[in-house]
Amino acid sequence: MEQSIKDPGCLTLLLTGRNKQVYGEQLMRIIRGKALDFDLIATKPGAVAPLENPVSGGINAGHLNGTYVMVHTFSVKHEFLYNILLEYPTIRHMHVWDDRIGQLAKFKKAGDGWLGKNMLESFEMTQVNLPLKYMGLDQEIRLVTAMVEAHNRQVRLEADGGPFLVAGVGPMPRSRPELEGYGLWDPYETYIPQRRIATELGPVIQYTGIIFSEQVQSFLRGVAQMEQQGQIRIKPPSSLQDQDLRPWELPDDFNISLCMRKAQQDFLETIGGIGANVLVELEAVGELDGKIWALKVAEAKSLKNATIVAPNGQIYTCDASGGVDTALESFLQGRLGRVSPWKAGSPHIVMSYNRFQGMRPYKAAKIRQWEPLVNNGTALRIVLVGTIGTKQLTGMVTQKRDHFATAPRDEVNILDIVNLFATKMQRQLGVYEANQMIYQVRQEMRRLSIVNKATNRAHITMVVQTAFEGAFINQ
């Protein structure tokens, strides 16, 4: 990039999704601090833009402040580069730098289009990998608390009849005539503001599952970093063994999630209850798309010929009789829990993942191919001692419904329509599938600006039919 800036024959641009009004001063301070001299700096006009003639034809009537167009960062960048190429046809080469894998994929598609139209002779991309930087815990708490307080002040203001606030409003992007038909802003993705609900911060249970002590966490952290733990060496899946996985991201903690949020009492009793010790056997290794790897686990049925990692970090070896050391017995007393997930799937421990390639820990649930745990051709039996517990974070815990009375209420029962189509198509939906279908329908209604009113039942029915048919066609 610095070479591009120094080249008088090269046009060097900075395209950012940051809003000039909010971030302009800070952005220029950063640029000056790095001594970067861009030829052009383009910012996004806003997060949303007022839509004078809603595409829904008035379906959104009754909502606060009308309808807005979502102004996506990539659409702004895409249109800007189109304008540059149309304005300066002598440009024959383009090189894009970006740190978001999703946007790079979109730029690749756009670049192929420009090459196909002979607007360019070459198109290159470079992914920028930046190290994560975390703010201090106290600073983060102050920042989030201030955001929640500002939100609740706005709730009170609206409840008292004050103006409704839509954040990030900017001008509507206007495409030049040459760009008509390129699909940059059509069809519109609309945003309909809703009345806010007051919220509070407090402890929230993220998941219920098997928690490991810090010493066992340290053992697993060493495994994830390809280090030998005493006499134990666990290798990642064979397809990853030639890669350097050290730059990959490690999870915040190594755990086994059995269900999201707080477990229902009957399920909690099934897995042994909070505080029950669990014998977790490492069964296999697996990976997904070369971007994440995990350890598949199961409940240890016996301790014969097993190597056990105790909560204190000590490693014990059991013989063929399955007898345990006296020091280990204290960790195995009392209730024993089970490795039994609430939903179907393979319980697992995420070891590391390639964050810069867009991978996230939750995607390990999609791993289907697993390799047995072996070392030099010998099967390994490694058992970790964990405890049934919960992971607790600070988050939103209360929604005060007293301010919700003035917000539009649903008039059409979407579940009834979903069940109607399920009956027609002779399909039986479980609770999870039905909830997923309703979520998908609501997302599409939001995109099309369809309000849940009785007068819109026909529109909603069409959305349900499309979502329902599409779900089973894709299976």
CATH number assigned to the domain comprising residue 307: 3.90.1740
pLDDT at 404: 39
User: Collapsing DSSP states into helix, strand and coil, what is residue 43?
Assistant: strand
Count CB-CB contacts under 10 A for residue 14.
15
pLDDT at 208: 95
- Same domain? For 430 and 326 the reply is no
pLDDT at 369: 93
Look up residue 400 and give its amino acid. K
- Same domain? For 336 and 415 the reply is no
- Same domain? For 148 and 170 the reply is yes
- Same domain? For 295 and 148 the reply is no
Q: Which of 142, 161, 191 is the last residue of a domain?
A: 191
Distance between CA 369 and CA 287 in Å, rounded? 8
Distance between CA 241 and CA 260 in Å, rounded? 32
- Same domain? For 353 and 275 the reply is yes
Strands 199-211 and 255-260: antiparallel
Count CB-CB contacts under 10 A for residue 435.
13
- Same domain? For 146 and 95 the reply is yes
- Same domain? For 54 and 182 the reply is yes
- Same domain? For 333 and 440 the reply is no
pLDDT at 406: 45
Distance between CA 361 and CA 363 in Å, rounded? 5
- Same domain? For 183 and 209 the reply is no
**280 found inside a domain:** yes
pLDDT at 187: 59
- Tell the residue number behind the tokens 């056990």, with chain if given: 308
**462 found inside a domain:** yes
**400 found inside a domain:** no
In tens digits, the chain (475 residues) has pLDDT values of 778 888 888 999 999 999 888 888 999 999 999 899 999 999 998 888 887 654 443 333 334 556 788 888 898 999 999 999 999 999 999 999 998 888 898 999 999 999 999 999 999 999 888 777 889 989 998 999 999 999 999 989 988 888 888 888 888 777 788 887 777 776 567 777 777 788 888 888 999 999 999 999 999 999 999 888 777 889 899 999 888 898 899 998 999 999 988 998 989 998 999 999 999 999 999 999 999 999 999 999 888 888 999 999 999 888 877 676 666 777 777 778 899 888 878 999 999 999 888 888 989 999 999 999 887 677 889 999 999 999 998 887 766 444 434 445 678 888 888 888 887 777 767 666 777 788 888 888 877 778 888 888 888 888 888 887 666 544 4
List the one residue out of 196, 195, 194, 199 whose CA is nearest residue 446.
194
**225 found inside a domain:** yes
pTM, to two decimals = 0.68
User: Collapsing DSSP states into helix, strand and coil, what is residue 230?
Assistant: coil
**197 found inside a domain:** no
pLDDT at 276: 93
Torsion of CA 112, 114, 117, 123, to 10 degrees: -70
pLDDT at 326: 67
302 contacts 322 by C-beta, under 8 angstroms: yes
24 phi and psi angles, rounded to 5 deg:
-55, -50
**4 found inside a domain:** no
- Same domain? For 332 and 267 the reply is yes
pLDDT at 30: 93
Query: What is the extent of the structural domain holding 459?
Result: 409-473
- Same domain? For 379 and 234 the reply is yes
User: What is the count of structural domains for the chain?
Assistant: 3
Q: At what angle do helices 414-424 and 431-447 cross, to 10 degrees?
A: 120
**10 found inside a domain:** no
**326 found inside a domain:** yes
pLDDT at 455: 83
Q: Which of 395, 425, 441 is the last residue of a domain?
A: 395
List the one residue out of 445, 466, 463 whose CA is nearest residue 60.
445
